[in-house]
Chain A
Amino acid sequence: MVARRLAQGIVHGCIVLIILALLLPVLWMISTSFKRPTDLFAPGLGLLPPRPVLTNYVLAWSSYLLPTWFLNSLVTALCITAGQLVTSALAAYGFARFPFPGRRFCFLAVLGAMIVPFQVTMIPNYILIANLGLLNTWGAVILPNLPSAFGIFLLRQFFLTLPQELFDAASLDGAGIWQTFWRVVLPLSRAPLGALAIYLFLGAWNAYFWPLLVLSQPESHTLPIGLRSFLDDELGIQWGQLMAAATLASLPALVAYVAAQKQIISSFVMTGIKG
Chain B
Amino acid sequence: MTSRAWCSSLAKMAGRLAVERRARRPRAAELPPLLFIGPAASLLLVFVYWPLIYTVYLSVLDWNLISPVREFVGSANYRLLVFEPIFWIAVKNTLIYLVVLVPVELCFPLALALLLQSVAERRIRAVYQALIFSPTVLSFAIVCIVWVWMFNPLGGALSRLFRLVGLPAIAWLNNAQLSLWAVVLVSAWKVFGYNLVIFLAALTAIPAEYVESARIDGASAWKVFRWITWPLLGPTTFFVLVTTAIFTGTQVFIPIHVLTQGGPYNSSTHLIYLIYQYGFQFFQVGAASAASVFTFLGFLVLTYLQLRYLERFVHYGR
Contact = CB atoms under 8 A, between A and B. Distances in A.
Interface of A: 8, 11-12, 14-15, 18-19, 22-26, 28-29, 32, 40-42, 44-47, 86-88, 90-91, 93-95, 97-101, 103, 106, 109-110, 113, 115-125, 127-128, 131-132, 143-144, 146-149, 152, 177-178, 181, 202, 205-206, 208-209, 212-213, 223-225, 227-228, 231, 239, 242-243, 246, 249-250, 253-254, 256-257, 261-262, 264-265, 268-269, 272-273, 275
Contact of B142 (A100, A117, A250): A250
Contacts of A144: 47
A249 B47 contact: no
Given A127-B54, A149-B48, A208-B254, 6 more contacts: A14-B115, A25-B143, A98-B29, A110-B40, A131-B2, A144-B47
> Which of B115, B141, B198, B236 has the most chain A CB atoms inside 10 A of its CB?
B141
A28 B148 CA distance: 12
Contact of B279 (A29, A123, A239, A262): A123
Given A119-B250, A206-B141, A127 B1 contact: yes
A46 B160 contact: yes
B157 interface: yes
Nearest to A224: B141
Contact of B139 (A47, A206, A257): A206
B295 A121 contact: no
Interface in B264-318: 272, 275-276, 279-280, 285, 288-289, 292-293, 295-296, 299-300, 303
Contacts of A227: 141-142, 145
A127 to B, nearest CB: 7
A263 to B, nearest CB: 11
B132 A91 contact: no
A91 B39 contact: yes
A117 B295 contact: yes
Contacts, number: 277
Contact of B295 (A23, A120, A269): A120
B197 A268 contact: yes
B146 interface: yes
A100 B43 contact: no
Interface stretch (B77-85, B98-106, B187-195, B211-219): B187-195
Contact of B58 (A14, A124, A253, A275): A124
B145 A147 contact: no
A268 B280 CA distance: 33
B118 interface: yes
Given A88-B40, A94-B33, A268 B296 contact: no
Contacts of B276: 119, 122
A23 B129 contact: no
Contacts of B37: 90-91, 94-95, 106
Given A117-B299, A206-B141, A208-B139, A122 B36 contact: no
Given A224-B142, A227-B141, A239 B54 contact: no
The secondary-structure label for the interface of chain A is helix
B137 interface: yes
A275 to B, nearest CB: 7
A22 B193 contact: yes
Nearest to A91: B40
A272 B239 CA distance: 8
A15 B112 contact: yes
B133 interface: yes
20 contacts: A11-B115, A19-B128, A22-B189, A25-B143, A26-B146, A29-B149, A46-B160, A47-B157, A47-B160, A87-B39, A94-B33, A103-B33, A116-B296, A123-B285, A223-B142, A227-B141, A246-B142, A250-B142, A257-B130, A264-B137
B254 A209 contact: yes
Nearest to B300: A115
A118 B252 CA distance: 13
